[in-house]
Structure 1
């Protein structure tokens, strides 16, 4: 495929505009990725409107990540089997339908499954579009420009989840008018802006989206699909149930996790035996790819370890409004957006090892103070620390993603993208479920007796705030632990000029 903009050709040999293609993909995928964290600020509102607990409300995020994690392994088959243009169009339509379903859900606890179904449909679509975007970037940009291309992708993968809480907080504060449409201060309006972007993208996509990923004939390996779905589904389902059922629940937690691990191992074993695997797990024979994938997962866990709990801390402990808590996170989101392309350019010059070590070091240092946040901690202090964390995340995420893709030949990019994103989403789902359960359990164990509420309301409020703080402190500490682990593992990355253009024989290992 031609690399010069004026001569860019699709797989049918027809010229197309690379700039127009990238813009529409970035904007539409941004709208989809907003869903990953946009409800974080709205959790207290959902709890109130649906009359549900924090653990149940967090299912809006954990179910999204669960279905997303199940769907991403399937994306490797879909991306190489079906034409790029129509795969995008179908995915965008499904995403639009999922948002509409969630937005129309009646605010009663009995209808909560309907809301979750809408979230699952959104996640199914994002499970296709996110890895597809990365694969498109690999196919339309040469390796020497791949760092900055992945940096642009970072505006979506990194900035969208980071800006989600701020956007939803702004919407929940008061009525707004966008394109002549009035958005009221309801969680339903959170879905309207992404739906507008998607509607425009669907229409423009008929003209601007092109087939840029080579297709290959092949049949869906149904047994592998079943093993993958049961494996990742059961594993993530078990972790999702931890928040509501606790770690001691054999039926809903322990058994699903064990069953998931068994089926994931069976899935991997079967892929090694197939001539045309459903997901080519042999890409993990490439050491550089494996290490970068582990680091990406750790970075996601470190990020989500604070990302999902910080809005709750600011609203429940400091009593901030959704808008104010969202605005407190905005500088961090802007930092992520600013630094992602810069980190991509830096990757092209110095490589992923140096950047990841610096990034994880910054992430560790900036997370440590979160373990000591109190009732009287100034919000601007939290804002500065959060922005510093997002600086570290930006230094890590895009260079590692670009490094993972560059470690593999282009023909294996679809499998590498699917494997990398599966690790990313599984890690996100696990850490959200884990931290939600830990926080909820600590709060429950330290909640003062109910009679204190009537006898001494001020004392009750103080003890309740301290109970919440204890839960948040532990969650932030776990987030820092993942950052420390990333700092250690980053030292095993190859340097900029090492392990370059590794040729992998997937039957005999690394040459």
Structure 2
């Protein structure tokens, strides 16, 4: 990422400063996606709500984030880059401040705050990729997107560990004492977001060409309703199961039907709200599918593994998060290297190698017991995250390289939308499989009174059976991606000139 002062769209700018501000701001924003997971019990007590209610703080984030990603293509095309990024930061700062100061008598304030944070996340994730694709030439694009992998992969992985550490007790930093309560989670990131906002006023530039595209209200409504219902249905699986007609089946069916109508409408528009025609490009469709499988394999296990360590091994939320932290750091180390390799060799060999690592490191989880050494679990997780680092951003680079430059914003929005849906679907599938198998194998309640020790032993075995099946399903997703990798284009994909015919 050399040559920091260059001309893009005819204006001088510091590319490294811009990307640094974009990555730091995006990291802070995306961090909030998973940071509340370990804080939910504390929030239940503070706001005097039950577990089903407090879970909405996670559900609303996933839903609003997923809804905003398709909208980002229109916003990126219509709003100048600098003002779009500053607006996203401002919305995030407002949401974080509201969460930090939320009165415990008003849970709706926290819900609104989380929705605002999710709106910002839905804008910055696609924007970060489009800006990187624009700022850097084809020869260094893999390295640039590899650096972005630091944000997209590490932020969700670090979130639970960071919040667990904050909740663990009081900490001293620069003479200040803070931590020990849920408000500190928001208070920690708020100053950093404000600093990035003010620095971006001076260093962030408009790098994307804008067009006076009118907003198609019908498309906006269909996109919001369709993706909103679909993501809501997936989010409700963990609480209500796949058999729930009201909370799961109906929302998913409505979501699919509305998205189908949304897709039909987009195909007949001269200037679509979300250009689904990019999926007619076989290379883009294949790599986007594989990126989606990558996210299922990554986020699904990120959700199931801490649950195993806390329910079966008895670890605290902080200790389970620390067990996974080396894997997140491994991904941060490998992502830029994988990006450089993509610039030289393309995505095919990296994807085959990466998915082989993910599959081989996931299968041993099928044999976990209540006594499996923690260091063994950590080592396997590090190998998994290394494999994901070798696949995620190289595949994203390959997907975007298959499209003409003018389709960057639309392609990024489609890629991110598919990834968001896959993450929600993968989490729902693995969680439901885990719970279903555990419930089916749980001993009869009568045994609890007759022989408590035998009941306890069989209950642990039943719970482990649920985790084993869930990990096996995750390995199957990784293996499916491994097979698909052999159909990738050999070598680096060169971006075509002009629009696709």
TM range (shorter): over 0.9
Would the alpha carbon gap of residues 455 and 467 (structure 1) be closer, same or farther in structure 2, given more than 3 Å must change?
same
1:182/1:97 CA distance change after superposition, 3 Å: farther
For residues 204-353 of structure 1, what are the structure 2 equivalents within 5 Å?
204-353=199-348
In 2: Cα distance, 1:219 partner to 1:175 partner: 51
Q: Match for 1:470 among 461, 465, 472?
A: 465
Cα distance in 1, alignment partners of residues 53 and 435 from structure 2: 11
The Cα of 1:408 is off from its aligned counterpart by 1.1
CA distance in 1, matches of 2:101, 2:455: 37
8 A Cα contact 1:239 1:430, kept in partner: yes
- Partners in 2 of 1:106 and 1:306 — Cα distance? 34
Matched, 1:150 2:145: yes
- Residues 449 and 327 (structure 1), Cα distance of their counterparts in 2 relative to 1, 3 Å cut: same
Secondary structure class of the residue paired with 2:432: helix
Structure 1 residue aligned with 2:169, among 174, 189, 193? 174
Q: Secondary structure at the match of 1:408?
A: coil
**Counterparts in 2 of 1:473 and 1:41: CA distance versus 1, 3 Å:** farther
Aligned in 2, Cα 1:128/1:43: closer, same or farther, shift over 3 Å? same
| 8 A contact 2:5–2:15 mirrored in 1 | no
Q: Distance in 2 between matches of 1:47 and 1:388?
A: 35
Alignment partners' CA distance in 2, 1:451 and 1:117: 45
**Cα distance in structure 2, aligned partners of 1:434 and 1:113:** 29
Change (3 A) 1:407 1:55: farther
- Correspondence 1:441-460 to 2 at 5 A: 441-445=436-440, 458-459=453-454
Asked if the contact 1:71–1:127 (Cα under 8 Å) also holds between the matched residues in 2, the reply is: yes
Cα distance, 1:296 vs structure 2: 0.5
Hey, what does 1:405 align to over in structure 2?
Answer: 400
- Please give the TM-score of this superposition, normalised by the length of structure 1: 0.91
Find the counterpart in structure 2 of residue 102 from structure 1.
99
The match for 1:417 is: 412
**Residues 1:39 and 2:33 aligned together:** no
Show the counterpart of 1:501: 495
For residue 170 of structure 1, report the CA deviation from its aligned partner.
1.7
Which deviates more from structure 2 when the two are superposed, residues 263-272 or residues 91-100?
91-100
2:7 to 3, 6, 9: 9
Measured in 1, the distance between the counterparts of 2:372 and 2:18 equals 46
Q: How many angstroms does 1:309 deviate by?
A: 1.6
**Aligned-partner Cα distance in 2 for 1:26–1:371:** 36
CA separation of 1:79 and 1:149: change in aligned 2, threshold 3 A: same
Structure 1 counterpart of 2:125: 130
Distance verdict in 2 for CA 1:292–1:54, change over 3 Å: farther
In structure 1, how many angstroms separate the alpha carbons of the residues matched to 2:447 and 2:103? 35
Aligned 8 A contact 2:334 2:389 in 1: yes
Q: Could you say if the C-alpha distance between residues 77 and 178 of structure 1 is closer, same or farther in structure 2, counting changes exceeding 3 Å?
A: farther
| Structure 1 residues 113 and 478: alpha-carbon distance in aligned structure 2, compared to 1, 3 A threshold | farther
Q: Find out whether 1:86 has 2:83 as its counterpart.
A: yes
Q: State yes or no: 1:25 paired with 2:22.
A: yes
User: How far did residue 391 of structure 1 move?
Assistant: 0.4
User: Are 1:66 and 2:63 counterparts?
Assistant: yes
Deviating more after overlay: 160-169 vs 123-132: 160-169
Q: Single out whichever of 188-197 and 80-89 deviates more from structure 2.
A: 188-197
SS of match in other structure, 1:387: helix
- Cα pair distance change 1:447/1:114, threshold 3 Å: farther
Residue pair 1:168, 1:326 contacting (<8 A) in 2 also? no
Q: Where does the alignment leave 5 or more consecutive residues of structure 1 unmatched?
A: none
Q: SS of the counterpart of 1:16? A: strand
Following superposition, the deviation at residue 262 of structure 1 comes to: 1.1
Q: Structure 2 stretches of 5 or more lacking a match?
A: none
Aligned 8 A contact 2:154 2:329 in 1: yes
Check 1:433–1:59 CA distance in 2 against 1; reply closer, same or farther (3 A cut).
farther
| Aligned-pair CA distance for 1:59 | 4.4
